[in-house]
A and B are shown apart, each in its own frame.
Chain A
Amino acid sequence: MSGSTTTTTGGAGSSTPAPEETAPERRGGGSGFMAGPAGRNLGLVVALAILCIVGVVTAGDRFADIDNVLTILRLAAVIGVVSVGMTFVIIGGGIDLSVGALVALSSVWATTLATQQMAEDVHWIVMVLTAIVVGSVAGLVNGLVIAYGRLAAFIATLAMLAAARGLAEIIANRRTQVVRNEAFLSFFSGDVLGIPTLVIIFALVAVAGWVLLNRTTFGRRTFAVGGNAEAARLAGIRVQRHTVKLYVLSGLTCGIAAVMIMARTTTGSSTHGTLYELDAIAAVVIGGTLLIGGRGTIVGTVLGVLIFTTLGNVFTLNNLSSSAQAVARGVIIVAAVLLQQRLATGGFAFRRPGGGAPAAGRAVVQGSPAGAVSGGTGADGGPGGARPGASSDRPGA
């Protein structure tokens, strides 16, 4: 993902600086609208609308039926909650590959005989709390290892992915644990005013996530840490502590998702949440969040989740195989990201003005050519295009 960003921007500007003198004016004027988050989200809404039209045309009433819509939403709910947590981690400059495994672990831990017995004795809320605590603690471990152990997030959460699912298998002894608490099941499988509880939980998590990201100091710091960690640190933000919180938040959403999946399937199992990490990352990315951090929206993520779930539904209604669905999914990821880059080109071109600083990771932020102006000594992001290595582009040399 970040790779494709690199090619576009670096290639575009490797020797000719973008017309940055005028571009900022345009943006200030507001015709950069499509480049902004609102514009990207509009694109997603259009994509979702097109999918729905396809659904109506191919499956007619079976698609447009209210029950079917609720089915889509119910399916979207679990992965949606996980994706909200993932959005925070990615905006904060990280990645969490362990979400699927954490969902499994939380669901297993919350459905052990001991937990269920305690739930019978006290209240079913015990199961909910167990799942949430297990998810959060595992997220805490992720965060500590990443922030203070200075492990790459990719590696740390990959390790957690393996370990958490392994632990889930050990606890469950590879058996599926049936949820026996009727009160729990009836609460979560019920509905309020015709809307399934699971969908309401998803909505609540999404709204809470939106508020947290856009209206709190936590959200603002998340953007700062992901956008330029060094600047955030020197502005007095405790970056390591914040990073830990981001992974705890992601773990927390996994715990919530585990409760939801327990309600939907009436089981806790070490096979729950398989490949959720990929689905969540895909949803976040097509939702317009930059994989390198510092930019992203909750609305985009929600739309991303809905697009994938609707796609699956349309395929199922048309009796197409899940394999075909997977292919379509892949195509959509690439198409969506390519499209976003096109829409954002105005924005991106002057965000990395001049010299074609290769957008390798954080270099997007740091390697602006003016860095060469003020930076002096460093061979900053710019020289990528200048280096002899670039000669590998020469044909037939």
Chain B
Amino acid sequence: MGAPAGRGGADSGALLEMHGIVKTFPGVRALDGVDLDVRPGEVHCLLGQNGAGKSTLIKVLAGAHQPDAGTITWLGEPVTLGDPQAAMSHGIATIYQELDLVPGLSVADNVFLGREHARFGFARMASANRAAAALLTRLGHPEIRPTAEVGSLSAAAQQMVSMARALSQDARLIVMDEPSAVLDNEEVGRLFTVVRDLTAHGVAVVYISHRLEEIRQIGDRITVLKDGRTVATGLPARETPTREVISLMTGRTIEYVFPERRTTPEQTAAPLLEVEGLGLRGSFSDVSFSVRPGEIVGLAGLVGSGRSEILETVFGARRATSGTVRVAGRRLRAGDVGGAVEAGVGLAPEERKSQALLLGDSVYRNISISSLARFARGGFLSGSAEKAAAREQVRSLDVRPGDVDREVRTLSGGNQQKVVLARWLLRNCRVLLLDEPTRGVDVGARSEIYALVRTLADRGVAVVVVSSEIPEVLGLADRVLVIADGAVVTEQPAGALDEHRVLDLVMEGTAHGAGAASRATQSEGDVA
């Protein structure tokens, strides 16, 4: 398990240096000054919450996105990675999370895709198979036959095929985007063996994972991204305390203004939303909480803790395997979104663009889509009433620009979020579920969203907020449920908690899940 000596301290200078990388998309600054340096032979871990900019950074590195500003230095020379071919020719290979293999082709065909072994246009299969077999043997997986169809292989074996392809291109830097997400413990152990072998030969690896324990095992140094910025770089992967790492990922780089809480939430009012013993097999179990009108309840937890799944299950977007959800005393049918909406529940989902918005449609159509029946008589829509109502929402939420005929995709992230909120306001929803309400929202617009959520609560809406940013949950919510490993660890008034306390609770809660991690370490030790 011990790392080869001197692996982290390669003093032959940096292989790759990225400095001040900026990348802007319409409405949002995805990367806002990212620095990254990678040394030959190291495993450099890239950490950050969803939306921190990791994927965008990888794409810049792979030549798929062009940065708007910043410099990239490769082996001491400034370079432009104008397209994926350029990145590859420098020896940068990327292994995406969703593997980019052709399932119907053989292993060897995939390894040499685009660079087929051929003579006069005729494939030289024997030579390709030999070369692929050699690469796979080098990766410690001689059991993968070059003639096997890739689609029939396990996820782990497919990953090895991708690695073989990277090696066949003489990659000197391999970027791996959450490679362990599809692997079991034993496979992760074998992957690490391969990674160690590569780094021992001077290949550098940029390793992305949400699992801290993996980073402890395989990583040399850590760079943490947050809100498109590098918040820490070059941290030693083994020695940095877990709390510091999580705190860097989940903490605030900037102080936000949170609206003031109402001094006393109506303790007397009957709960509007009651969740009892809710469970979803394989994700979370026995989650109970209730929300009174005017109250904001926050769910705090790390990625994979089950917090988003809880919200989606309450909404019926996932079918609960146990437990009940009641709105104003009436029980909702499991897995019935339409019924939940009719009962007055609204969800602002995590992936706004793919799960909430009709991007090509106008603002007003996006706002009215859940309330169409109100503007219709016998199924016929009254366009003017519909637009007027949407306009009113746009005005009261201060959506900018205020043109309701504008295509919603041209709006910034914050304004798109307001459109989603407007949809549920127009519907007069009584229970509002917010999943990562400020994801992809520009820093400046966040306070506005917070104020808006509080205003809604003051109007008597019961709000549930999920966020990966602990300060956001603490600042916004009246009450907080700490979620770890698919279970509620504790439920306390937000005022009684601070960021450190929540982190402690999250880690304690994950501690019993750490058995899996130690098992991974064990089997890994066996392999090594």
Given contacts A228-B358, A354-B65, A388-B113, contact A376 B376 (CB under 8 A): no
Which residue in B51, B114, B169, B369 is a CB contact (below 8 Å) of A389? B114
Complex CA gap A216/B470 in Å reads 44
Residues of A within 8 A of B83 (CB): 14-15, 385
B351 and A374 form a contact (CB under 8 A): yes
A contact residues vs B (CB 8 Å cutoff): 14-17, 20-21, 24, 27-28, 211, 215-218, 220-221, 223-224, 227-228, 230-238, 294-295, 350-351, 353-355, 365-366, 368-380, 382-383, 385-394, 397
Chain B 18-52 interface residues, beta-carbon cutoff 8 Å to A: 25-28, 30, 48-52
Enumerate chain A residues within 8 angstroms of B259, measured Cβ to Cβ. none
CB pair B360–A218 under 8 Å, yes or no, is no
Task: Please tell me if B17 contacts chain A, counting CB pairs below 8 Å.
Answer: no
Looking at the assembled complex, report how far the CB atom of A193 sits from the nearest CB atom of chain B, in whole angstroms. 28
Interface residues of B in 380-423 (CB under 8 A from A): 380-381, 383, 401, 403, 406-407, 409-410, 413, 423
Q: Which residues of B contact A237 (CB under 8 A)?
A: 338, 369-370
How far is the CB of A10 from the nearest CB of chain B, in Å? 12
Quick one: CB contact mask for B362-374 with A, threshold 8 Å, 1 for yes? 0001001110110
Residues in B with CB closer than 8 Å to A294 are: 358, 360
Residues of B within 8 A of A221 (CB): 369, 372
CB-contact partner of A230 in B26, B54, B355, under 8 A: B355
Residue among B26, B51, B379 making CB contact with A376, cutoff 8 Å: B51
In the bound complex, how far is the Cα of B85 from the Cα of A314, in angstroms? 51
Verify B370–A387 contact, CB threshold 8 A.
no
B145 on the A face (CB < 8 A)? no
Chain A nearest CB from B183 CB (Å) reads 15
* Interface, chain B (partner A; CB < 8 A): 25-28, 30, 48-56, 59, 62-66, 82-85, 88, 93-94, 96-98, 100, 102, 113-115, 165, 169, 177-178, 181, 210, 315, 317, 337-338, 340-342, 347, 349, 351-361, 365, 368-370, 372-373, 376, 379-381, 383, 401, 403, 406-407, 409-410, 413, 423, 427, 439-440
Say whether, besides A238-B338, A365-B354, A397-B115, A376 and B410 are in contact (CB < 8 Å): no
Contacting residue for A217 out of B85, B381, B401, CB 8 A: B381
Query: Once bound together, how far apart are the Cα atoms of A369 and B440, in whole Å?
Result: 12
The CA-CA distance from A196 to B44 in the complex, in Å, is: 76
CA–CA, A220 and B373, complex, Å: 11
- Give A375 to B353 CA distance when docked, in angstroms: 9
Q: Is the CB of A231 within 8 A of B65?
A: no
| Contacting pair A17 B66 (CB below 8 A) | yes
A371 to B349, CA, bound (A): 13
Minimum CB–CB distance from B150 to chain A (whole Å) comes to 12
Docked CA distance A382–B354 (Å): 14
- Asked whether B64 lies within 8 Å of A374 as measured between CB atoms, the reply is no
Q: In the bound complex, do residue B26 and residue A228 qualify as a contact, i.e. CB atoms below 8 Å apart?
A: no
Q: Closest chain B residue to A392 by CB distance?
A: B114
Q: Measured between C-beta atoms, what is the minimum distance from A23 to chain B in Å? A: 8
Contact of B353 with A368 in the complex, beta carbons under 8 Å = yes
In the bound complex, do residue A386 and residue B62 qualify as a contact, i.e. CB atoms below 8 Å apart?
yes
Given the interface pairs A15-B64, A230-B354, A365-B360, the reply to whether A387 lies near B84 with Cβ below 8 Å is yes
Which residues on the B side are within 8 Å of A28 (C-beta)? 401, 403, 406, 410
Q: How far is the CB of A261 from chain B (nearest CB, A)?
A: 30
Query: Which residues from chain B contact A393 at a C-beta distance below 8 Å?
Result: 85, 114
Contact status B357-A228, CB under 8 Å: yes
23 chain-A/chain-B pairs, Cβ below 8 angstroms: A15-B63, A28-B401, A28-B406, A231-B357, A233-B337, A234-B315, A236-B427, A237-B338, A351-B409, A365-B358, A373-B440, A374-B351, A376-B51, A376-B52, A380-B55, A382-B59, A382-B64, A383-B64, A385-B64, A386-B94, A386-B96, A394-B114, A394-B115
